[in-house]
Amino acid sequence: MSAFDPAVFSRNSRFEVDHLKIASVSASALVADFGSPLFVVDEEDFRSRASHWKSALEEAFGESAGTVYYAAKSFISKEVARWVDQVGIGLDVCTGGELAVAEAIGFPAGRVELHGNNKSEDEIRIAISYGVHTIVIDSFFEIERVARIASELGVVQRVYIRVTPGVEAHTHEFISTAHEDVKFGFSLASGAAWDAISAIRAENSLRLMGLHSHIGSQIFESEGFAAAAAKLITLLARFKDTYGHELSELDLGGGYGIAYLPGEETLDPSRILNELADIVKRECASAQISVPIISIEPGRAIVGPTTTTLYTVGTTKDVELDGGLSRRYIAVDGGMSDNIRPALYGAEYIAIVANRLPLGPNRNSRVVGKHCESGDIIIREIELSADIQPGDILAVPATGAYGYSMASNYNHVPRPAVVAVNQGNARVIVRRESISDLLALEN
Ligand SMILES: *Cc1c(COP(=O)(O)O)cnc(C)c1O
């Protein structure tokens, strides 16, 4: 398991003779120059994945292709927002903080969408003043709130309704239920979504453009998306029957799966979107409505595979297990503060030695962090070379999504730097936090 597998590393990563290089920069040089732990983003890989989702949506849906909104929550920084802008896709933000990143670089407001189940009045006011293209409404309170603020600002705000269609998808399976016990959106089955439509139509300062649904994350099959799309299309058909004209937009959210482990495969945008297009066109034909403008919100699928975390090994320890077995604990200089996903979701990763060619044999190992918590585990079980020593660099691939964006200061550990690499050059896009940054908050 400790061999380099190109399928889980960023596109421009190579293992050259005896060390890892990302976009022609060696892992050792990166750690020497920028310290560790370090998030290393393969810039060209990010841009090409973002472009691929855009072209795949256009090819699959033709005239009905809407916008690819990159989900900022997966990882956003000013530089990443510039890349998103330059590629020509949109940005999905769900807090004032994420919106502030967009504003800071002058991201075109016409390509921003605002989400969130509990947007504050300030967030709504700032978003409307900025001119965001669409606000996705999540509750009845919010209909009144967004309408009032838009009216105070003298704006007619374009909105979507977030619908919970009764489809939950988890990787390879999806579950269809009448009611979903979740905090997001208006339920389709209970009639809440229909009531929200009439409530929004009654507001002069709101213009209902379409429906939105997001059914989960790390999904590999089209069935879940298809089931959700079919249910939303039923609602669009009911709208047409009732009001005599069509609601013309449908946003199918994000959730496209990526490879974390050898043997897994990152979803191909063209394949999944072509499948979705077939289903949407078929369902629309049978419901006798036009194919709506289709937008999507991939986050993980754009940034996840582009990033590798580099750690330095600090200590190792052999622990005896029952039955005469043993396990080597390999402790690195980060942990659950820069990657909470294993602790939060049981997410699995791999690691390789990045600074030299490890010499077998392998040992049953566990890669852990430096936090005061037994659950501070990056990789629960992995075969790693028995000669791993303090000072070695471990590379953990596919950490671009929900790594830095979920990072914390647990144990007063400063957050890592994020470095972008491209064609032999490396530059900091988010500087390493310092202890003084942390203490600056405190009286
Ligand atoms: C989280 C989220 C996304 C992005 O999900 P990924 O799994 O990263 O693609 C998109 N839309 C909404 C509404 C979300 O909550």
Round the average pLDDT of the chain to a whole number and report it: 96
CA of 255 to the centre of ligand 1 (A): 6
Ligand 1, pocket-test mutation among 46, 67, 73, 119, most atoms within 8 A of CB? 73
**Mean pLDDT along residues 81-92:** 98
Q: Which domain holds residue 33?
A: 13-42+305-439
- Residue 113 token pair: 């969408």
Q: Which of 372, 439, 440, 441 is catalytic?
A: 372
- Residues 315 and 276 reside in one and the same domain: no
CA of 123 to the centre of ligand 1 (A): 19
Q: Whose CA is nearest to atom 10 of ligand 1?
A: 254
Q: Which of 251, 266, 298 is the last residue of a domain?
A: 298
- Residues 348 and 275 reside in one and the same domain: no
Peptide bond preceding 37 in cis form (omega within 30 of 0): yes
- Residues 270 and 318 reside in one and the same domain: no
How far apart CA 247 and CA 147 sit, in angstroms, is: 19
**For residue 288, is it left (φ>0), alpha (ψ between -120 and 50) or beta?**
left
Q: Which of 298, 313, 336 is the last residue of a domain?
A: 298
- Residues 432 and 324 reside in one and the same domain: yes
Helix or strand or coil: residue 54? helix
- pLDDT tens, position by position, 223-256: 999 999 999 999 999 999 999 999 999 999 999 9
Q: Directed axis angle between helix 222-243 and helix 192-201, to 10°? A: 50
With a cut of 70, say whether residue 410 has pLDDT above it: yes
N- to C-terminal Cα separation, the chain: 48
> Beta strand pairing status for 425-430 and 417-422?
antiparallel
pTM for this prediction: 0.97
Helix or strand or coil: residue 413? coil
Give the pLDDT of residue 114. Answer: 98
**Mean pLDDT along residues 23-40:** 98
With a cut of 70, say whether residue 191 has pLDDT above it: yes
pLDDT band for 2, please (50, 70, 90 cuts).
Answer: low
What is the position in ligand 1's atom list of the atom closest to the CA of 401? 8
The answer, yes or no, to whether any atom of ligand 1 lies below 6 A from the CB of 74, is: yes
- pLDDT tens, position by position, 325-344: 999 999 999 999 999 999 99
- Residues 120 and 255 reside in one and the same domain: yes
Query: What is the count of structural domains for the chain?
Result: 2
Is residue 55, in this structure, part of any structural domain at all?
Answer: no
- pLDDT tens, position by position, 345-402: 999 999 999 999 998 799 999 999 999 999 999 999 999 999 999 999 999 999 999 9
Q: Which of 242, 263, 298 is the last residue of a domain?
A: 298
Q: Whose CA is nearest to atom 7 of ligand 1?
A: 255
Is there a catalytic annotation at residue 284? Answer: no
The sign of the CA dihedral 308, 312, 315, 318 is positive
> How far is C-alpha 259 from the chain's CA centre?
13
